[in-house]
Structure 1
Amino acid sequence: MKKYAYIGCLGFIGVITTEFGVIGILPQIATHYEISIDRAGLLLSAFALIIALTGPFMTLLASGFDRKKVMLLSILLFVITGVVSSFSPPFWLLMLVRILPAFLQPVYIATALSVAVSQGDKKNENELMSIVFSGVAIAMVTTVPFATYIASIFSWEYSFYVQSAISVIALIAIYTVLPNMLVTEKKTYRSQLKILKQPTFITSTAMNFFMIAAWFSTYSYFAAYLNKAKNMDNTMVSYMMFVFGIIGVLANWVAGKMLDKNITKTTAFFLSGTILIPILLHFSGGNTVATIVVIGIWGFLYSPSFLNASTYMISSAPKSLEFANSLATSFGNLGITLGTTAGGWLIATKSVVYTPWLTLLFGVLALLMMGVRSLLERSKHN
């Protein structure tokens, strides 16, 4: 039943709007609190770090509870975050309420994927997962740029009104549409932890980590990069986020179809963007039309990254879907932390203009990890 996958997608839109909604307003937040852009970037990196450190443990702990209640509690925290943040509290409080929902973000994603897949056909598993993950791209094309646009017209606090509204809609949808979903057969912790001993799973995790770090070393400072390197104002940045996202929706649909045919080739194809985009951004220079084209290609190759990472990792541990996905979410967010921190350091010491070269560096490391996994799998079959 695709209905449950679409409900999971709606909640994912709320989750992503809250996590990434600050990207377009980081310069405004930095100005309001009179802090540097790299310190404002902590709102993203700290959120991601909490997910990275607690995700798998929280998912294991929640694995025995009613899935509907777990999803409701997770989204409720996102609602609270948006409401409190909209009052422009002191920076330490803004940071605190940003961190709270991070504890349950990977739990929501793992549970939503599990619910979607459990109600569908095995052969359509990747397609159902792509529906849930399309929430990332849809948020990028609708709520994230809309929140940025609203903030550019009024003030950055209005961005959080949008975030709260989306989470409330998701909360209502989950409550009214999903039935209670008690877990009838709880897997033991030991059976799920076994995947941590598999070399192919470890290298898949490392690939995920470097791939997300690659994308976010530049994407975390998307607004600042386009402001400084491409001389675009805040309204133009919101339009660029719209272009980025609308192509991303298509990319997720395409990736879902491609993953059903070949997981490794699909992942490698989209990962190649971490090498291609920095080069294209460099040669596009100050040409606005060329930059818009590059942003479109960037959106296409970046958007399915979370779907590709999860599918690639789960393919090496198919019997532990929820736990494997929570690790994918955790290490992906650890990658966000590394990418955002490395990008912030480069901005503080050099300039935001150089952040795409970090994308290329981490992208090469991710491709190397794919190569290592391929060699491990060949040696196992020989």
Structure 2
Amino acid sequence: MPLALVALVISAFGIGTTEFVVSGLLPEIANDMHVTLSTAGLLISGYAMGVVIGGPVVTALGIRMPRKAMLILLIVLFITGNLLAAVAPDYWLLMIGRVLAAICHGAFFGIGSVVAADLVDESKRSHAISLVFTGLTVANVVGSPLGTFVGQNLGWRSTFLMITGLGLISLIGIIALVPQQPVQEGASVRQELKVLALPQVWLAVGIAACSIGALFAAYTYIAPLLTEITGFSSGALTPLLMLFGTGLVIGNLLGGRFADRAQITTLLAFLGLLTVVLVVFTFTAHAKIPAAITLMFLGGAGFGTVPAFMTRAIDKAQGAPTLGSAIAASGANLGISVGAYLGGRTIDAGYGYTSPIWVGVGMAALGLAITALSAALDRRDKTTTVGALEPAAHSG
């Protein structure tokens, strides 16, 4: 593995930690900031919207900058946002810090995926992208639980100071290890925005939103499901969520390996598996050991799609890979927001804590349909290309 990838993985770990850790610190933040728990919860929604909107905008505006310089700028933004969160005297400055960090998140995974893909041979691009996202998945297993532990024992501000330190390490790593990559020839905002007219890019975004949305429709409400339905104690949640995080890591790495061989087949396989696992989970949620096993498979099936849809967005962006990648990353976060919202509505409607899982089933099935449509367009384009070449061959 190129050392530059190590720097990207460390950065992804820090970014993933700051995204996920707030969920475990909401009571402490709400109490210290003198706001309600639901108001504190908006720190998660604000972060998500910062990723969805800020990522593509910043990526497009920085398209004429060298990618290494953009990564450095983004990590500086990440450090600034988390440092502001650590010292924020009031709720709204804390929110601003979260949004600044979120803007880094959206653009970093878009640019970082392209940088990672360019560091390796053509046949290993999906695997390289999966390694970057490994940092994000490991944050679920190690970073978020560690940050929650630090915040609960030393105060939530200590957690953001810890993450700021991770940002400084990431900055040093990127400066020292990531090679300079030339600015894409003819790059401009207008050229990048042409990606918005490409159907296959939007289909890749749809796959991203549906696959990750399906995963988080179920996962967002996993704590009450495991305690109220399965019967686990609240103390068992940390090891159970670490088990889920382990599934994320394994699925992400396997997805990267398989996607280098066949993108569409990988997407269909993991989305199909995700659909089945979600349906099974509605039954296994009522028994402890089967629920724990299913939870790990849920993480693996859900995140196994990530390297494939990220590589596909880069491939289909036709001269604008950075923005295509950033839009796909934002699509995944939009899917998280939609899945969590719809799952919450089913609970509010009185259908119980297993009802969000069925929202996930529907989103995964929609993802399968979008993937099939994208594959059909591939076949049509290939047929059109062959048909156009045959007359030229005969005339020669």
What amino acid is aligned across from residue 78 of structure 1 in structure 2?
A: F
- 1:81 matches 2:73: no
Moved more, 263-272 or 213-222: 213-222
Residue of structure 2 equivalent to 1:280: 280
Distance 1:368 1:3, change over 3 A: same
- Report percent identity of matched pairs: 25
The one-letter code matched in structure 1 to 2:43 is L
* Residues 1-382 of structure 1 mapped to structure 2, 5 A cutoff: 2-26=2-26, 35-36=36-37, 39-86=39-86, 89-151=89-151, 156-179=156-179, 181=181, 183=183, 185-317=185-317, 319-350=319-350, 351-382=352-383
Q: Which amino acid aligns with 1:325?
A: S
Under a length normalisation based on structure 2, what TM-score does the superposition of the two structures give?
A: 0.85
Residues in 2 aligned to 1:234 and 1:164: alpha-carbon distance in whole angstroms = 29
Distance 2:311 2:71 in 1: 21
- Bigger CA drift: 274-283 or 361-370? 274-283
SS in 1 for 2:230: coil
Deviation at 1:325, TM superposition (A): 0.2
Matched position secondary structure for 1:261: coil
Q: CA RMSD in A?
A: 2.8
Structure 2 distance, partners of 1:291, 1:155, is: 33
Q: Structure 1 residues 188-197 or 240-249, which shifts more?
A: 188-197
Work out which of the two has the higher radius of gyration on C-alpha atoms and give 1 or 2. Answer: 2
Q: Deviations over 1:11-69 (max 9, x none)?
A: 111111111222344466567756355x5443223222222223222112112223333
Alignment check: 8 A CA contact 2:212 2:302 kept: no
Contact 1:23 1:220 in 2 (8 A): no
Cα distance, 1:293 vs structure 2: 0.6
Q: Is the 8 A contact 2:79 2:101 kept in 1?
A: no
Runs (5+) with no aligned partner, structure 2: 384-396
Work out whether residues 215 and 299 of structure 2, in 8 Å CA contact, stay in contact via their aligned partners in 1: no
Cα deviation, residue 97, structure 1: 1.6
Which has the larger displacement, 363-372 or 301-310?
301-310
- The whole-number CA distance in structure 2 between the counterparts of 1:332 and 1:40 is 23
Count of residue pairs the alignment pairs up? 381
Q: Do the aligned partners of residues 61 and 129 (structure 1) sit closer, same or farther apart at CA in structure 2, a change above 3 Å counting?
A: same
CA distance in 2, matches of 1:223, 1:10: 28
Q: State the shift of 1:224 in Å.
A: 4.3
| Distance (whole Å) between structure 1 residues aligned to residue 348 and residue 29 of structure 2 | 17
User: SS of the counterpart of 1:64?
Assistant: coil
CA distance in 1, matches of 2:176, 2:235: 37
Q: Is the 8 A contact 2:130 2:306 kept in 1?
A: no
Q: Which moved more, 1:8-17 or 1:58-67?
A: 58-67
Aligned in 2, Cα 1:87/1:291: closer, same or farther, shift over 3 Å? farther
Q: Which runs of 5+ in 1 are unaligned?
A: none
The 2-side partners of 1:221 and 1:94 are apart by 25
Question: Partners of 2:151 and 2:234 in 1: how far apart?
Answer: 9
Question: What code does the residue aligned with 2:132 have?
Answer: V
Distance 1:276 1:34 in 2: 41
Deviation at 1:225, TM superposition (A): 3.9
Contact 1:218 1:356 in 2 (8 A): yes
Query: Residues 236 and 329 from structure 1, CA distance in 2 versus in 1: closer, same or farther, beyond 3 angstroms?
Result: same
Q: Which moved more, 1:50-59 or 1:326-335?
A: 50-59
Distance 1:233 1:100 in 2: 36
Bigger RCO (CA 8 Å, 6+ sep): 1
- Alpha-carbon shift at residue 238 of structure 1 (Å): 1.7
Distance 1:190 1:76, change over 3 A: closer
